[in-house]
Amino acid sequence: MGGPAPPDKSWKGSLNMNYNIGPGFTGNDSFRKIRMRVHNFNKITRIYNVIGTIRGSVEPDRYVILGGHRDAWVFGGIDPTSGAAVLQEIVQSFGKLLSRGWRPRRTIIFASNAEEFGLQGSTEWAEENAETLQERSVAYINSDSSIEGNYTLRVDCTPHLYQLVYKLTKEISSPDDGFESQSLYESWLKKDPSPENKDVPIINKLGSGSDFEAYFQRLGIASGRVRYTKNRKTDKYSSYPVYHTIYETFELVENFYDPTFKKQLSVAQLQGALAYELVDSEIIPFNIQDYAKALENYATSIYNLSKKHDQQLRDHGVSFDSLFSAVKNFSESASDFHRRLTQVDLNNPIAVRIMNDQLTLLERAFIDPFGLPGRRFYRHIIFAPSSHNKYAGESFPGIYDAMFDIENKADPRSAWSEVKKHISIATFTIQAAAGTLTEVV
């Protein structure tokens, strides 16, 4: 390529060559042109959502949804087939339980849809059934690609699912070489500890780019996803190298990514166990205290980010005190709720239902009906896909986006007013969420 060098090293690859950004070419090839022929066919076609339901025996009006897509850009050996196969195996497992006389406490919904073109299948279904899903859904578990690498487990989920994930991974055998007698939790912890707490494995924030988006970011339904991934410390490429290409075949999976299919089995075991626990536990296995800790970390993180503009914070009267106060109140409410949860009378179905409803509806409390600026589809005040990478999650996205590149804004006063506005929105939302956890009188 000709033209100038890229603006910084993040544009450069690892080959021993000059990376330029064009236009044109260099040297003897400067006169050459490239002709591309694109053989795409634009047409309107029909897609189908396939929905299966096992009605709950005790709380049929409470739903746990396990869903994923079955369409692919090309052959889809990894995306989505490795995830679609997991979904099918879990459906078959629940079918076997049914044949033995078991029925779940709550209703479980299995959803298979078309996703690659704008997440259309899940989004349309979730929007069509929005009122029902917001009123009745406990959680959504996403079953997209079950592998994007073969190094270790990767989990993205809402914070009050952390403890359930840790508990279940301790009960599943690790498929990793060298960890034959150890649990999935142990191999995961060894390979990918959390930067904030080395005693537990890292769990990522939910971003977007898959079917959980409408459920989580728009409707406020607790969500999670599970897959095997690459070594993020050494493999710096995004996703996996053959993502959405003609080379993403079954042979690639069978010969290179997961020859024994044990890693996909571990993902299936974990997703199936998550669905089972959520659908059949008398008390929904959410840990609100983990949400409180996460909010403390996120508030500290966004405040530390703002300190790069320390003088401007003072000049424009921007304070994060109200946000930290709301987070403190939420933490106190979460602790009190946890105390009451340990004392609930399990023989009193009304008392159990009240606590479960508070657990279920907490995520809804973080939804703002007005959405984020310029992104009204995204309504979650605590989490949203990054404005600069839709696959990655960002905490306090309203505040983060308002501060992004703020030093180059034409009207600093207006820009910092926007920051204050989003601090206020986050403060109000967290304080309101804390109110949902108080004892019902």
Q: What percent of the chain has pLDDT over 70?
A: 100
Q: Is the pLDDT of residue 64 over 80?
A: yes
Q: Is the pLDDT of residue 129 over 80?
A: yes
pLDDT tens-digit profile of 78-110? Answer: 999 999 999 999 999 999 999 999 999 999 999
Mean pLDDT of 294-314: 96
Mean pLDDT of 387-392: 76
Q: Which residues are catalytic?
A: 115, 319, 357, 380
**Helix count and strand count (H, E) for the chain:** 14, 8
The two most distant CA atoms of the chain are separated, in Å, by 84
The SS3 of residue 193 is strand
Q: Is the pLDDT of residue 172 over 80?
A: yes
- pLDDT for position 9: 81
364, amino acid identity: R
d(CA 164, CA 202): 14
Mean pLDDT of 195-224: 96
Q: Pairing state of beta strands 106-113 and 59-69?
A: parallel
pLDDT tens-digit profile of 30-43? Answer: 788 889 999 888 88
- pLDDT band of residue 236 (cuts 50, 70, 90) is confident
- pLDDT for position 3: 87
Mean pLDDT of 61-82: 97
d(CA 397, CA 407): 18
pLDDT tens-digit profile of 246-299? Answer: 999 999 999 999 999 999 999 999 999 999 999 999 999 999 999 999 999 999
- pLDDT band of residue 193 (cuts 50, 70, 90) is very high
Residue linked to tokens 């006063």: 413
Structure tokens, 338: 């946890």
- pLDDT for position 387: 80
Question: Which H or E element spans position 393?
Answer: strand 389-395
Q: Is the pLDDT of residue 389 over 80?
A: no
- pLDDT for position 401: 93
